[in-house]
Amino acid sequence: MRVTWLGHAAFEVEIDGVNVLIDPFLSGNPKAAKSPDEVDPDLVLVTHGHGDHLGDAVEICKRTGATLVGIYEIAMYAKGQGVENVEEMNIGGTIEVEGLRIIQVPAWHSSEIVEDGEIVAGGTPVGYVVSGEEGSVYHAGDTGLSMDMKLIGELYEPEVALLPIGSRFTMGPKEAAKAVELIEPEVVIPMHYGTFPPIDQDPEEFEREVKELGLDVEVVILEPGESYER
Contact residues for Ni ion (CB under 5 A)?
50, 142
Q: How far apart are CA 78 and CA 55, in angstroms?
A: 12
Q: Which of 50, 161, 151, 53 lies closest to 106, judged by CA?
A: 151
Which residue's Cβ has the minimum distance to Ni ion?
50
Instruction: Name which position in 42, 142, 175, 209 contacts Mn ion (CB under 5 A).
Output: 142
| Cβ nearer to Mn ion, comparing 15 with 60 | 60
CB of 48 to Ni ion, least distance (A): 6
Only segment of 19-27, 50-58, 84-92, 129-137 that touches Mn ion (CB under 5 A): 50-58
Only segment of 32-40, 77-85, 99-107, 141-149 that touches Mn ion (CB under 5 A): 141-149
Q: How far apart are CA 199 and CA 192, in angstroms?
A: 7
Q: How far apart are CA 182 and CA 10, in angstroms?
A: 23
CB of 166 to Mn ion, least distance (A): 8
CB of 161 within 8 A of CB of 138? Answer: yes
Residue 42 binds what, of Mn ion, Ni ion, none (CB under 5 to 8 Å, by partner type)?
A: none
CB of 84 to Ni ion, least distance (A): 26
CB of 47 to Ni ion, least distance (A): 8
CB of 41 within 8 A of CB of 66? Answer: yes
DSSP conformation class of 198? G
Q: How far apart are CA 55 and CA 48, in angstroms?
A: 10
| Cβ nearer to Ni ion, comparing 142 with 207 | 142
| Cβ nearer to Ni ion, comparing 197 with 214 | 197
| Cβ nearer to Ni ion, comparing 8 with 50 | 50
Residue 14 binds what, of Ni ion, Mn ion, none (CB under 5 to 8 Å, by partner type)?
A: none
Q: Which of 24, 59, 45, 157 lies closest to 98, judged by CA?
A: 45
Q: Where does residue 92 rank: exposed (0-12), middle (13-18), buried (19+ CB within 10 A)?
A: exposed
CB of 38 to Mn ion, least distance (A): 22
Residue 42 binds Mn ion (CB under 5 A):
no
How long, in residues, is the chain? 230
Amino acid identity, position 212: E
Q: Which residues bind Mn ion (CB under 5 A)?
A: 52, 142
